[in-house]
Amino acid sequence: MLSVAEAQRRILAVISTLPSVETFISGSVNRVLAEDIVAGRNLPAWDNSAMDGYAVKASDVTGSSQRLRVIATIPAGACEVPTLLPGTAARIFTGAPLPEGADTVMIQENTSIDGEYVTFHRAARHRENVRQQGEDAKAGSTVLSAGRVLSPGDINLLASLGRSRVSVYRRPKVAIISTGDELVEIDGPEPGLGQIINSNVYALAAAVQLAGGVPVITPPVPDNPESIRNAFLSARSADAIVTCGGMSVGDFDYVRDVLRELTSDEYGFWKVAIKPGKPIGFGTLGHCALFGLPGNPASAWVTFILFVRPSLLKMQGHTMVLPLPRRARLAHALKAGGARQNYLRIAAYRDASGELWVDASRNQSSGALTSIANADGLAIVAPSAPAREEGDSIDVLLLNTRVDRHS
């Protein structure tokens, strides 16, 4: 059996970044920039006031009780700005252009008004409260580099530069196929004896969306090789196919054999030293990456996180794609590790000091749906790891940002 790390390495070695597309900036957040952004203008475009107050020449306000005549009022958005004469001041508001002849803004809290005159209560400091032309970004400078994951702040910057569209890597289209004669549709009649609702596809579709992909759910495929083969061939225009079920060694587990047949020599593997989720497969069908995941809900969830999600991230231009473990303390004792690397569903919380704790005392059956619904992440128990006591440290993969919201 392959180790988890080796399986990840083999898969990611085959995955390529998708071509770039141009999109409106409003739809580009969390996507990877595919071009360098060069400022086509200065930011700010002109010297402007950072505060409400009075525009002056610093050399005209050399001490407290200095008194100047106010000759103009300059609001934000002013299109015409007077020239400031020596020994005068202009009332100015935040964002308004600084008048020629001024080099400083004195905030209004340090002044008092008497008719058309303003008295300053301290000396001015040259250039205080002035946003200088180009101090944020100079025309011709690279302000965002290709490979950056765009944030709301980046979107603000792009808009300020007059960029309504930007080049980012394309979102992968992911076909989700589940197999099994026992599967029935979610809105159909009440499942009969031996039937179950086709729930895994909706969980996988949600996981694809969170990873930035575009899921396409297909109807359940019956347990026969021809139907499975046709489903795969029909979906091969997608960037990835994620199947669920039929990967083990049962008499009706045909997905493994069809995957091997269609991907030929490019077929990857079907056993990884992992619990849950040992029987998984990977191959390529033309340009399409094909992932064969187990049918048990927890197995499908864990293997998606470890193998499919990193691949979808790489397709979109991300470079940090593998989930990063962090250390946490155990709220309960754990048994020693077995032959495979075990991923335990956990609840996570922080104590009063902010230290991270995890609780793995829940049903760890690969078919337990509630343990997935309530999971904040996964605790990693390495093969043959020693037993651990309450308070010992362990590596965990956090999957719920709620845990870190107040950290």
Question: What are the residues whose beta carbons fall under 8 Å from the beta carbon of 239, sequence distance 6 or more?
Answer: 18, 172, 173, 174, 213, 287, 288, 289, 315
| Distance in angstroms (rounded) separating the CA atoms of residues 196 and 267 | 30
Out of 245-254, 354-363, 375-384, give the one with best mean pLDDT. 375-384
pLDDT for the residue numbered 407: 43
pLDDT in tens, 364-374: 777 777 778 87
- What band does 266 get if pLDDT is binned at 50, 70 and 90? low
| Higher pLDDT among residues 246 and 322, named by residue | 322
Average pLDDT on 172-195 reads 87
pLDDT in tens, 20-56: 999 999 999 999 999 999 999 999 999 999 999 999 9
Whose structure tokens read 């197995």?
A: 299
Q: Rounded mean pLDDT of the chain?
A: 91
Residue 251 reports pLDDT greater than 70: no
Average pLDDT on 105-118 reads 96
| Distance in angstroms (rounded) separating the CA atoms of residues 319 and 322 | 9
How remote is the C-alpha of 39 from its chain's centroid?
Answer: 25
| Distance in angstroms (rounded) separating the CA atoms of residues 308 and 282 | 10
Q: Which CATH class is domain 48-131?
A: mainly beta
- What band does 261 get if pLDDT is binned at 50, 70 and 90? confident
Strand (E) or helix (H) holding 358 = strand 356-359
CATH code that applies to domain 21-41+145-169: 3.90.105.10
| Distance in angstroms (rounded) separating the CA atoms of residues 98 and 80 | 11
pLDDT for the residue numbered 406: 47
The token pair that represents 34 in the structure block: 């595919």
β-sheet bridge partners, residue 120:
66, 111
How remote is the C-alpha of 272 from its chain's centroid?
Answer: 27
Q: Could you tell me the pTM of the whole model?
A: 0.88
Q: Which CATH class is domain 4-18+171-315?
A: alpha beta
DSSP, collapsed to helix, strand or coil, labels residue 373 as helix
Fold classification of 326-404 is Beta-clip (2.40.340)
pLDDT in tens, 273-300: 999 988 888 999 989 999 999 888 899 9
Average pLDDT on 232-244 reads 95
| Distance in angstroms (rounded) separating the CA atoms of residues 234 and 80 | 64
| Residues 57 and 66 sit within 8 Å (Cβ to Cβ) | no
| Distance in angstroms (rounded) separating the CA atoms of residues 22 and 256 | 38
Q: Enumerate the domain spans of the chain.
A: 4-18+171-315, 21-41+145-169, 48-131, 326-404
